[in-house]
Amino acid sequence: MGRGGLCGLAAEISQCRICRDQPAGPALAHEPRPVARLSETARVLIAGQAPGTRVHASGLPFTDPSGERLRDWMGIGPEVFYDPARIAILPMGLCFPGLDAKGGDLPPRKECRKTWHDRILAAMPQVRLVLAIGQYAQAYHLGPLRRSGLTQTVAAWRDILAETSARGGPEILPLPHPSWRNNAWLKRHPWFESDLLADLRRRIVQQLGR
């Protein structure tokens, strides 16, 4: 798919209202605002969960403390992170899904994956590294390679990188969500920062040519 095709796909996504007008379950309670950054040149794809309230307001992915932590994990600043020629961003849910009774974000809308994700990934064959953030992205991108839970999946990151590379597609690196809610998880698993993040930063440099 060339530039016109990818731009056309992005334009379709920007007008998507399926979760409001043809929902799979309860309709989205607010006006949809799809947030994604597609690219025909980016070799790194950030596959997250879904926009939160701040991203819904800004229309720009990861404009929140989670984004600051993710950029620190990757070892890059906003100028690189938001360069669509270098990094593509595709959450499992393209719109803010709303809040649950406890004030947390609801799961990503299922309509997004069914409608868009296979088409989007087919339009970006140049991607060589996928950062699969959280259980929803890992379920989609890893399929049967995902382990029994998020901790087990992230802990198996070396094997998963090797397994995904061997099947001929992009390498996939599983990550927890960079939310402050995961601070306790990060403290319990010091190998994440000492080993996994060191490898992540090396791979980012390799893919971005920095």
Per-residue pLDDT reduced to its tens digit, 128-146: 999 999 999 999 999 999 9
Average pLDDT across the chain, whole number: 95
* Cα separations in angstroms, 177 against 10, 21, 71, 132: 25, 30, 12, 9
Query: Residue 156 has which token pair?
Result: 């198996």
pTM of this prediction?
Answer: 0.95
Q: Is 192 helix (H, G, I), strand (E, B) or coil?
A: helix
Spatial separation of the C-alpha atoms in residues 105 and 148, rounded to whole Å: 23
Q: Order of strands, edge to edge, in the sheet holding 44-47?
A: 87-89, 44-47, 129-133, 171-175
Q: Based on the structure, what is the number of domains in the chain?
A: 1
Identify the domain containing residue 194 by its residue range.
3-208
pLDDT in tens, 49-107: 999 999 999 999 999 999 999 999 999 999 999 999 999 999 999 999 999 998 889 99
Structure-token match 């999946």, residue found: 153
Q: Which phi and psi angles does 35 have, rounded to 5°? A: -125, 115
Helix axes 197-208, 65-74, angle to 10 degrees: 80
Amino acid found at 206: Q
Residue 153 has pLDDT above 50, yes or no: yes
Can you give the CATH number for the domain in which 152 is found?
A: 3.40.470.10
Nearest alpha carbon to residue 197 among 180, 181, 179, 174: 174
Amino acid found at 127: V
